[in-house]
Amino acid sequence: MDREWWRGAVIYQIYPRSFQDSDGDGVGDLPGITRRLGHVADLGADAVWLSPVFRSPMKDMGYDVSDHCAIDPLFGTMADFDALVAEAHRLGLRVMIDQVLSHTSDEHPFFRESRSSRDNPRADWYVWADPHHDGTPPNNWQAIFGGPAWTWDARRRQYYFHNFLAAQPDLNFHNPEVQDWALSVLRFWLERGVDGFRFDTVNFYFHDPLLRNDAADPRSMPRPAFKPYDMQYHLFSKNRPENLAFLERVRSLMDEFGARTTVGEVGESHHPIEIMGEYTSANRLHMAYSFEMLDDRWGAAHFRRCIEHFHRLAPEGWPAWAFSNHDVPRHVTRWAAHAADHDRFARLCAMLLLSFEGSVFLFQGEELGMPQTDLAFEELTDPQGIAFWPEDKGRDGCRTPMVWEAAHPQGGFTEGTPWLPIKEPQRARAADLAADSSMGPGSVLETYRRMIALRHEEVALRAGRTAFLDLPEPVLAFRRGENLLCAFNLGPEEQVHALAGGGEILMAQDAEWLDGRLHLGPNGALIART
């Protein structure tokens, strides 16, 4: 069973720049993370996932890697990384690290070599294409951060492909040497003792070798999207069937190392659940997650559809679910229209997410009910926010530093000037306030701790299958396993429904059974053994 520790696990995402600074430069680092791992262990999480800490020019905050097997000095040294892994293991935490394999930095030695000529040893390691006769790019593919996904290189007199910034050229996974190199990177970190990988943009690895145009998005739009990328149906620039065989190679490597795991980020708006199912079936990835629960959609029907659809498509697959991460506005702010009040809603979300079938990812600060930080344009560092402001304020608002101490000038995060500002709404959610027993029971932090503990105690919450009950919006109710009932009021008004119940209430927020009827207060929640 230890080999499958990841099934039903709770994995805590750490964004290293913003977790804890140890040297006063205002940027979080590996020694800082090591210092604060006790917080994650006390929460009850099974593992941590570290966003990238590899050598990088930081044009996309570390997702533009220039050396996949080196620690960026901004975060520390390889010795610091080894110390972090050792301390995590001592505390009973597994360590998963991000792997950004679909592209590199344009400062990577491989790309510098590739762009130097059309006949060097790595000339075909990236996606190069000739221009049309009129000098225009080879097709209509768009970049996520704006503009065409092709940048002209005068040395080769060709365009190169990039799904993100021009500084993030895509690797050519049709080249077997690139695949072998990617697997060697994974082996390097596995031999160093990491317990798994989160694969960034896992469905972006392969492109259509014929470079066919992507189609227009068939969905009706009242006006153009602010991102041209979102106006296309990405049939050819990603989501290619060739990826499946490579994922099987990844799984074969992982199996050499025993109790290790993988989770793939599926960045796709058209059929993400289908891809999640496909990628976790037939000896491929262990887990996959998409943005289906990371956008503005909310409601019983939505959550039910996500879970049922996945298990219908991939009965042997395994999903991972998250409400927040480093790429989207924090969920307590994103879904605030459905909240009776902030803390009550944050507690509801904790109980809801941690009752879902699959594995669960929590984003740092989520356990404190941390809201999205409202930033001015001049405070931004994120290229996405800078490009699309004000329609999209970017990702910096969810990436501001953790606040550990309310009375500290910089929230206990740093003795210097933090790389993103710490503002009063975040300071009011400091970890020391949440953990202060004098504040009384029922804090958001306590709810996360209790719910994670319950998930560990109740096998049905980790491994039991889900059977949904037919109740009207905004109530979501389902059974896990044979005798566990989970019911949630996703709205700000009281709900009362006839529901056979009784039994032992394991955890509740403003919920009770009276005369054969289940009463759920505003954002009420109930988990009971019936």
Residues recorded for the chain: 530
pLDDT digit string, tens, across residues 421-435: 999 999 999 999 998
Share of the chain above pLDDT 90, in %: 93
* Angle (deg, nearest 10), helices 243-256 and 272-279: 40
Q: Does one domain contain both 33 and 72? A: yes
308 is catalytic: no
Q: Does one domain contain both 188 and 323? A: yes
Sign of the CA dihedral running 496, 500, 504, 506: negative
141 lies in some domain: no
Other Cβ atoms within 10 Å of 335 Cβ, number: 19
Report the alpha-carbon angle 260-446-450, nearest 5: 55
Q: Does one domain contain both 288 and 364? A: yes
Q: Does one domain contain both 340 and 419? A: yes
**Residue 491 corresponds to which tokens in the numbers above?**
């709205």
pLDDT digit string, tens, across residues 468-511: 999 999 999 999 999 999 999 999 999 999 987 677 999 999 99
Task: Tell me which amino acid residue 26 is.
Answer: G
Task: Tell me which amino acid residue 210 is.
Answer: L
pTM of the model: 0.97
**Residue of 230, 285, 243, 239 lying closest to 262 (CA atoms):** 285
Q: Considering 393, 414, 447, which residue would you say is the last residue of a domain?
A: 447
Q: Does one domain contain both 350 and 421? A: yes
The CATH number of the domain holding residue 213 is 3.20.20.80
Per DSSP, the three-state class of 159 is strand
Q: What is d(CA 115, CA 120) in angstroms, rounded to the nearest whole number?
A: 9
**Residue of 350, 285, 283 lying closest to 322 (CA atoms):** 350
Q: Where are the alpha helices (DSSP H) in 226-299?
A: 243-256, 272-279
Q: Does one domain contain both 218 and 355? A: yes
Between 75-84, 120-129, 281-290, the lowest mean confidence (pLDDT) is in 281-290
Radius of gyration of the chain (CA): 23
Phi and psi torsions of 337, nearest 5°: -65, -20
Q: Does one domain contain both 254 and 379? A: yes
Q: Does one domain contain both 406 and 507? A: no
Question: Which of 200, 208, 268, 292 is flagged as catalytic?
Answer: 200
Q: Domains in the chain: how many in total?
A: 2
Question: Which of 256, 296, 378, 470 is flagged as catalytic?
Answer: 256
Q: Does one domain contain both 430 and 514? A: no
C-beta separation of 21 from 27 below 8 A: yes
Range of the domain at 509: 466-529
The residues facing 514 across adjacent strands are 517
Q: What is d(CA 88, CA 90) in angstroms, rounded to the nearest whole number?
A: 5
Model confidence at 441, in pLDDT bands (50, 70, 90)? low
Q: Does one domain contain both 301 and 248? A: yes
200 is catalytic: yes
pLDDT digit string, tens, across residues 62-74: 999 999 999 999 9
Above 60 in pLDDT, residue 440? no
371 lies in some domain: yes
* Angle (deg, nearest 10), helices 30-43 and 78-90: 10
Above 90 in pLDDT, residue 224? no
Q: What is d(CA 414, CA 21) in angstroms, rounded to the nearest whole number?
A: 5
pLDDT digit string, tens, across residues 260-316: 999 999 999 889 999 999 999 989 999 999 999 999 999 999 999 999 999 999 998
C-beta separation of 168 from 63 below 8 A: yes
Look at residue 502 in the predicted model and tell me its pLDDT.
73
Report the alpha-carbon angle 465-472-486, nearest 5: 35
Per DSSP, the three-state class of 39 is helix
Q: Does one domain contain both 321 and 259? A: yes
Q: What is d(CA 251, CA 247) in angstroms, rounded to the nearest whole number?
A: 6
Q: What is d(CA 415, CA 23) in angstroms, rounded to the nearest whole number?
A: 8
